[in-house]
Amino acid sequence: MKPIMSKSEAAELVRSARVRHGLSWAQIAEKLGTPLVWTTAALLGQHPMSPEQADTVCGMLELDDTVAEALRTQPSRGTDPQVMADPTIYRFSEALAVYGPALKELIHEEFGDGIMSAINFKVDVERRSDPEGDRVVVTFDGKFLDYRW
């Protein structure tokens, strides 16, 4: 028996097939009817997909069922530290290193002692046109959870 393909191997196949078919992440998300960032993250291995979602994606990308099976499994979430150093990702970490303590102060000021959930949570990325150069706007939107004993 062969074990279920790992989610990172499946992600590599999805990424390759997407490029070869000339499809965008947005087209895949639209076909699935799921949010754009969620869809991309799920296909990169960070969320389990429903059987229907997995089948739809594998149909679009002409990938076989071993990939769909992997897309359905529960992930172990997170990203390799070396990948986190890629400049496109690193800028977000740098922004946190600069603004993290300020965000903490302001969350406590506005909401009291607690956190923004990273589980009951969504992210969106969009382009905002600007005469001085278009802007990347990323929104983190999580339920406030207060420290409650």
Q: Binding to a copy of itself (CB under 8 A): which residues in 66-85?
A: 73-80, 82-85
Fill in the amino acid letter for 55: D
Return the residue of 30, 52, 62, 65 that touches a copy of itself, per CB under 8 A: 62
Q: Report how far apart, in Å, the C-alpha atoms of 122 and of each of 88, 116, 138 are.
A: 20, 11, 10
CB of 32 to a copy of itself, least distance (A): 13
User: Is residue 94 among the annotated active site residues?
Assistant: yes
| Number of residues lying near a copy of itself (CB under 8 A) | 99
53 binds a copy of itself (CB under 8 A): no
Question: Smaller CB distance to a copy of itself: residue 59 or 79?
Answer: 79
Q: Which two tokens stand for residue 12?
A: 């590599």
Residue written as token pair 């303590």: 101
Residues 14-33 as x/- pattern, contact with a copy of itself by CB under 8 A: -xxx-xx---xxx-------
User: Is residue 91 among the annotated active site residues?
Assistant: yes
Question: Smaller CB distance to a copy of itself: residue 59 or 90?
Answer: 90
Residues 83-122 as x/- pattern, contact with a copy of itself by CB under 8 A: xxxxxxxxxxxxxxxxxxxxxxxxxxxxx-xxxxxxxxxx
Degrees, nearest 5: CA angle 126-129-130: 130
CB of 101 to a copy of itself, least distance (A): 5
Sorted by sequence, the CB contacts under 8 Å of residue 113 that are 6+ apart come out as 146, 147
Return the residue of 47, 53, 57, 68 that touches a copy of itself, per CB under 8 A: 47
One-character DSSP codes across 46-110: SSPPPHHHHHHHHHHHT--HHHHHHHHSPP-----HHHHTSHHHHHHHHHHHHHHHHHHHHHHHH
Among 91, 93, 105, 135, the one annotated catalytic: 91
- Catalogue the active-site residues: 91, 94, 117
